[in-house]
Amino acid sequence: MKSFEELLQVSTRIHGHICAGQVIGVRMSMLALTLLGIDDPQGGDRKKLYVIVEIDRCATDAIQSVTGCSLGKRSMKWLDHGIMAATFVNLESGKAVRVTALEEARELAKNYCSEITDKYARQLEAYKIMPENELFRIERVSLVIPKEDLPGRPLRRVQCESCADWVQDSRDEISAGKVLCRNCANGRYYTKI
């Protein structure tokens, strides 16, 4: 695996700027990969890793850049929980670890870079050097990933009987005996004009 500085540089380029979230995401990923025994997430181990992120913030871009997991490859899933956490799964061994960024780390940053007066700059620099136990909560976890959420080709495709959109991987619903996409079954997130 590349060094922290190399991974942070790549993550920053992909994300568009350096921020504390990038540092957290890179360190979180490196920690999880080590705990799961994954040495080459974008090479030889790329099909072993699956990540569930719980927030749509800066750290998620860092996690993607370090692990190589992405929504498009179906090796990353996003759950809109608003928690700075991610669960990393070694699909080969079945081992999984959930890593959560600790809110207390914001205040603890003062203990590491007190000379930096801007709190965001202080957090960014402190997060680079803080011990993992002050920055993260680590939990060994167990989970079942539905087969329709795993990477690979779609398991099935069906056509919505209302709008004719094609729905993949069991994201369809049955309502009044009809196969429907979620938009037709539950209401659209948009309005047609």
Domains: count for the chain: 2
- Sign (positive or negative) of CA dihedral 79, 4, 122, 138: positive
pLDDT tens sequence across 51-67: 999 999 999 999 999 99
The confidence score (pLDDT) of residue 69 equals 97
Q: Which residues, given as ranges, of the chain have pLDDT below 70?
A: none
Domain with 59 in it: what CATH number? 3.30.1330.130
* Shared domain check, 8 and 51: yes
Residue range(s) defining the domain that contains residue 113: 4-148
* Shared domain check, 173 and 108: no
The confidence score (pLDDT) of residue 174 equals 95
CA dist., res. 92 & res. 151, Å (int): 13
* Shared domain check, 180 and 144: no
- 3-class DSSP assignment, residue 75: coil
* Shared domain check, 63 and 20: yes
* Shared domain check, 172 and 100: no
The confidence score (pLDDT) of residue 123 equals 95
* Shared domain check, 164 and 133: no
Domain contains 96: yes
* Shared domain check, 171 and 140: no
96 by Cβ neighbours in 10 Å (0-12 / 13-18 / 19+) ranks as: buried
Q: What angle do CA 61, 64, 69 make, to 5 degrees?
A: 155
**117 DSSP assignment:** -
Rg (CA), the chain: 20
What is the chain's percent helix, strand, coil content, to nearest 5?
35, 20, 45
